Structure 1
Amino acid sequence: MDGVHSAGIPGVYAEVRDAGLTWRGASGVADVGTGRPVRPDMRHRVGSVTKTFTAAAVMQQVEQGRIRLDAPIGGYLPQLVPGERGRKITVRMLLNHTSGIPDYIPYAFPSIQGFPSLPDVSSKSLDDNRFRQFRPAELIELGLAAPPAGEPGAPTGVYSNTNYLLLGQLLEQVTGTPAEEYITRNVIERAGLRHTGFPAGPRIEGPHSRMYEALWGVIDPPRDYSVYNASWTGTGAALVSTMEDLNRFYARLLDGGIVNRSSLAQMQRTLPVRALDGSTVQYGLGLHRVEIRGCGTFWGHDGSAWGAGTLSLTRADGKRQMSVAVNLQRWNGPDSSGNPQPHPIDGALSALYRQAMCDDGNGRAENASPAKFPGTMVL
Structure 2
Amino acid sequence: MKSALDCAALDAAMENVHRAGMPGLFAEVRDGDQVWRGAAGVADVVTGRPVNADMRHRVGSITKTFTAAAVLQQAESGRIGLDTPIGRYLPKLVPGERGDAITVRMLINHTSGLAEYLPYAYPSFKAFPALADTGPQSLDDHRFTRFDPVELIEMGVTAPAVGAPGGAPGLYSNTNYLLLGELLEQVTGTTAERYITENVIERAGLRDTELPAGPYVDGPHSQLYEAWFGMIDPPRDYSVYDMSWVVPAGSLISTVADLNRFYGLLLAGEIVSPSSLAQMQRTGPVISQEGKTIDYGLGLHPMEGPGQGTFWGHGGTVWGGGALAMTRADGKRQMAVAVNMQRWNRLDSSGKPQPHPIDDALATLYRVAMYG
Same fold (TM > 0.5) = yes
Asked whether 1:39 is paired with 2:52, we answer yes
Retained in 1: the 8 A contact 2:108–2:177? yes
Deviations 1:113-147 (A, max 9, x none): 12333221211111111100001100000101111
Provide TM-score, normalisation by structure 2: 0.95
Q: Paired residue for 2:350, among 325, 334, 337?
A: 337
SS in 2 for 1:231: coil
Matches within 5 A, 1:1-379: 1-199=14-212, 201-359=214-372
Q: Tell me the distance in 2 between the aligned counterparts of 1:115 and 1:48.
A: 17
Judged with a 3 Å threshold, the aligned counterparts in structure 2 of structure 1 residues 113 and 134 are, in CA distance, closer, same or farther, namely same
Retained in 1: the 8 A contact 2:213–2:251? no
Letter in 1 for 2:198: R
Retained in 2: the 8 A contact 1:243–1:324? yes
SS in 1 for 2:358: helix
Retained in 1: the 8 A contact 2:117–2:153? yes
Retained in 1: the 8 A contact 2:129–2:289? no
Letter in 2 for 1:231: S
SS in 2 for 1:191: coil
Deviations 1:320-349 (A, max 9, x none): 000000000000001122211000000000
Aligned length: 359
Q: Tell me the distance in 1 between the aligned counterparts of 2:300 and 2:93.
A: 25
Q: Which residue is 1:367 aligned to? A: none
* CA displacement at 1:106 relative to structure 2: 1.1
Retained in 1: the 8 A contact 2:132–2:349? no
Give the root-mean-square deviation of aligned CA atoms.
Answer: 0.8
Q: Tell me the distance in 1 between the aligned counterparts of 2:212 and 2:128.
A: 29
Deviations 1:197-244 (A, max 9, x none): 012521100000000001111111100000000000010000000000
* CA displacement at 1:291 relative to structure 2: 1.4
Retained in 2: the 8 A contact 1:157–1:274? yes
* CA displacement at 1:299 relative to structure 2: 0.1
- Gaps in structure 2 of 5+ consecutive residues: 1-13
Q: Tell me the distance in 2 between the aligned counterparts of 1:9 and 1:296.
A: 29
Letter in 2 for 1:314: T
SS in 1 for 2:244: helix
Letter in 1 for 2:140: D
Retained in 2: the 8 A contact 1:17–1:322? yes
Deviations 1:62-88 (A, max 9, x none): 000000000000000001011000000
Retained in 1: the 8 A contact 2:16–2:361? yes
Retained in 2: the 8 A contact 1:121–1:218? no
Retained in 1: the 8 A contact 2:123–2:138? yes
- Gaps in structure 1 of 5+ consecutive residues: 360-379
Q: Tell me the distance in 2 between the aligned counterparts of 1:190 and 1:84.
A: 38
Letter in 1 for 2:229: W
Retained in 1: the 8 A contact 2:226–2:320? yes
Letter in 1 for 2:69: A
Q: Tell me the distance in 1 between the aligned counterparts of 2:47 and 2:307.
A: 42
Q: Tell me the distance in 2 between the aligned counterparts of 1:177 and 1:121.
A: 39
Deviations 1:354-375 (A, max 9, x none): 000111xxxxxxxxxxxxxxxx
Letter in 2 for 1:32: V
Letter in 2 for 1:209: S
Deviations 1:260-309 (A, max 9, x none): 01100000000011000001111000001111112210000000000001
* CA displacement at 1:318 relative to structure 2: 0.4
Q: Tell me the distance in 1 between the aligned counterparts of 2:165 and 2:275.
A: 24
